Structures are given as C-alpha cells and as structure tokens.
C-alpha cells in the first residue's frame, strides 16, 4: 500500500488523508489524475516509434500503431496527450459497462489502468471482473495480479504495475488531487506492454 501512496505522492497526485469514505459511482466513473499518472508512469513515453516488450510498434504513452495508421513523429506535447486521452476513453467506458455494482474512485482507476494495458476483452472475461461484480472486493487483487506475463514469461515491469494497481484498488482513505503534473518518466521495463495489440501473448 505504501508503494502506491509513494508513487502518487511523487507524481503530485495524492492529497491529504480524508476521514470519510469516497462516493461510489456506477456506470459514470471517470478516470482521475491518479489513473492517468499510473498509466503514464508504467507505459513510459516516447516521441518516436519503438517496439514494445512483445515486439509491436508503439509510440507516445503505449499507443499501439495499427496497420496503416500514420502518426507524425516526433509525437510531442498536446498531440501526445490527445492520443493518450483517445486511448483511455474506450477503456474507461469498458470499465463502466462491465462493472454492475458501484465502485469507488481508486477501484475504478486501478481497473482502468489494468484495462489500458490488457484490453477490453481481457476485462470482460476476467475473474477479476466476476469478483468485482460479486462485491468481493478483498478478493480482487489476487486475480488482478495474475496478468504479469508476456510471451509466456513473467516480466518484472508487469509485476510492478499489477502490484501498483492492486494497491490502488485498495486505496480508500486518501483524496486524489484534481490537477496532475505531466509525467515523462522512463519506461518501466515490461510494464508498458502495448495495451491494444492482440492479447495472445499475454496471460494471467
């Protein structure tokens, strides 16, 4: 738990402790700066295309370059942020669509980051989703953290990302600030496996 608090504090995303539970949402949760900050941290940022841990062409904050897609290079500033928002929007929508019970901000943020990395299809069929909808929230971190492999091997970056997301899911009593700092940290090795390529090489 301290790890995610330290990460959010380092990114300028964590406010003061609060003494009341957060308000849950159902079907209308929006990613907070914490979700965006965690995604940026683990995806890393590159203004030019590179190959991710699974060998797929990627740019910006873990955006998979689709066949025929043309993205001006270098991808900088507002253009990179817009592309990130375009990629996050369907992931957040999928979380809202597949969560049939109210969830709180930290839970939503954790699952949005997970889905950004692994895709909507993985969310829909996951044990994690079943645990959420059964309101067995204490059991969610275990299946969430199983998805730490690419090409059949465990990646340390994915392990760290899953640990951070699991901790964020359990984070209840701290408020998240409303304005995030732009984060341009280095890649977490393996933690930024492109979120939109076919998931055949990812296992949980």
How confident is the model over 48-59, as pLDDT tens digits? 999 987 889 999
Mean pLDDT per 10-residue section of the chain, whose length is 204 residues = 69 61 87 91 96 90 96 96 97 97 93 96 97 97 94 90 92 53 42 45 41
Fold of the domain built from segment(s) 2-8+25-197: Lysozyme (1.10.530)
Of 78, 48, 123, nearest in space to 63 by CA:
48
Look at residue 87 in the predicted model and tell me its pLDDT: 97
Contact between 34 and 15 (Cβ < 8 Å): no
> Is 43 assigned a catalytic role?
yes
pTM surpassing 0.85?
Answer: no
Place of tokens 């890393």: 44
Look at residue 22 in the predicted model and tell me its pLDDT: 73
For the chain, what are the domain ranges?
2-8+25-197
Look at residue 38 in the predicted model and tell me its pLDDT: 92
C-alpha to C-alpha distance for 42 and 24, rounded to whole angstroms: 26
C-alpha to C-alpha distance for 114 and 161, rounded to whole angstroms: 8
| Number of residues that this document lists for the chain | 204
Place of tokens 């949005």: 112
Of 183, 158, 194, 165, nearest in space to 45 by CA:
183
From 2, 43, 120, 165, active-site residue: 43
Paired tokens of 21 = 């539970």
């Amino acid at each position: 738990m301290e790890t995610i608090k330290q990460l959010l504090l380092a990114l300028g995303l964590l406010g003061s402790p609060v003494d009341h539970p957060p308000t849950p949402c159902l079907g209308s949760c929006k990613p907070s700066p914490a979700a965006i900050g965690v995604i940026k941290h683990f995806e890393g940022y590159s203004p030019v295309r590179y190959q991710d841990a699974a060998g797929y062409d990627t740019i910006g904050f873990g955006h998979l370059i689709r066949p025929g897609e043309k993205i001006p290079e270098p991808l900088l500033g507002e253009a990179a942020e817009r592309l990130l928002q375009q990629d996050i929007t369907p992931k957040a929508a999928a979380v809202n669509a597949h969560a049939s019970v109210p969830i709180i901000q930290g839970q939503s943020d954790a699952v949005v980051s997970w889905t950004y990395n692994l895709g909507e299809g993985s969310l829909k069929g996951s044990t994690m989703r079943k645990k959420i909808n059964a309101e067995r929230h204490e059991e969610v971190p275990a299946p969430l953290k199983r998805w730490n492999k690419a090409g059949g091997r465990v990646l340390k970056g994915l392990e760290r990302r899953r640990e951070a997301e699991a901790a964020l899911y359990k984070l209840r009593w701290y408020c998240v600030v409303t304005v995030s700092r732009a984060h341009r940290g280095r890649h977490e090795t393996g933690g930024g496996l492109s979120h939109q390529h076919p998931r055949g090489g990812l296992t949980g």
